[in-house]
Amino acid sequence: MRRFLIAGNWKMNTNSESAKSLASDVAAGAGNHTEKVCVLLCPPFPYLALAKEAVNGTDVKIGAQDVYFESPGAFTGEVSVDMLSDVGCFATIIGHSERRHVLGEDDVTINKKVKAALAGGLGAVLCVGELLEERDAGNTETVLDTQMAGGLVDITSEQMEKIVIAYEPVWAIGTGKVATPDQAESVHAHLRNWLESRYNSDVAESTRILYGGSVKANNARTLLEQQNVDGALVGGASLKADSFVPIIEAAADLSTS
Ligand code: 13P
């Protein structure tokens, strides 16, 4: 049985004060829901350590939004896997749509990052998603298959235990245009089939596939109710405990374990 994972991607938001209070408010609001639901908060790099401190003693985990694939050395501006582990990160997001489309990251780079994260003991939330024009042209599945294959080159079925897939249609990110539950379910089922053919049925059954893109308290439940939706990667609504905690509550409510 896959446990729901509700992850907050704070993107380039918050400051030291708001990051600290947001992390502790979410931890307080998540309370004993973390017995049923995994909660991951992904603040900007400068606030990882203080967010970690704010959730200490709770089951809320801290993750990064990106990582560099090289070992520590002369890579100005970059942050290594070791550094993320050192400040208490459990995982990192990799291949987010904004990194692909604003910062120009390709599947080769994304795959290097996935490999480096796993080699250093960090979990990876690998993001995939199609542009609106790709969906309109009927190419959603081809685009996703390419991103999955590219991001997971050389990743073994054992390593898949540390990987979560996040399906984030680019047209739904920050636009308020959430995918319908049917649209999300159809893509998630496709991704699970892809995992079965690339790996095996165990990997397909155990890998969590999150949905991301305009998830809010008022639409989370119908998305999370879908058989193949195992959680949410939340942007805007993760920036306030009042809008994020109800998403955790919806997942807890739907959990059978
Ligand atoms: P929004 O929830 O703001 O649409 O962002 C989604 C996202 O990109 C999460 O990684």
Q: Where are the domains of the chain?
A: 5-256
CA-only gyration radius of the chain, Å: 17
What is the reported pLDDT for 28?
97
Task: Write b or e for each residue in 90-115: b if 16 or more Cβ atoms lie within 10 A of its Cβ, otherwise e.
Answer: bbbbbbbbbbbeeeebebebbbebbb
- Which of 66, 178, 215 should be mutated for ligand 1, with most atoms under 8 A from CB? 215
What is the reported pLDDT for 1?
75
Ligand 1 contacts CB of residue 215 (under 6 A):
yes
Ligand 1 contacts CB of residue 235 (under 6 A):
yes
Ligand 1 contacts CB of residue 238 (under 6 A):
no
Known active-site residue 168? yes
* Of 120, 134, 129, 133, residue with least CA distance to 209: 129
| N-term to C-term CA, the chain | 8
pLDDT (tens place) for every residue of the chain, 257 residues total? 799 999 999 999 999 999 999 999 999 999 999 999 999 999 999 999 999 999 999 999 999 999 999 999 999 999 999 999 999 999 999 999 999 999 999 999 999 999 999 999 999 999 999 999 999 999 999 999 999 999 999 999 999 999 999 999 999 999 999 999 999 999 999 999 999 999 999 999 999 999 999 999 999 999 999 999 999 999 999 999 999 999 999 999 999 75
In ligand 1, the atom with minimum distance to the C-alpha of 127 is 10
Q: Tell me, in angstroms, the distance from the centre of ligand 1 to residue 29's CA.
A: 21
How far, in Å, CA of 45 to CA of 165, rounded? 22
Nearest CA to ligand 1 atom 7: 235
Q: 5-256, which class in CATH?
A: alpha beta
Ligand 1 contacts CB of residue 9 (under 6 A):
yes
What is the reported pLDDT for 257?
52
The one catalytic residue in 134, 168, 185, 249 is 168
Known active-site residue 130? no
In ligand 1, the atom with minimum distance to the C-alpha of 98 is 8
- Which of 168, 244, 247 should be mutated for ligand 1, with most atoms under 8 A from CB? 168
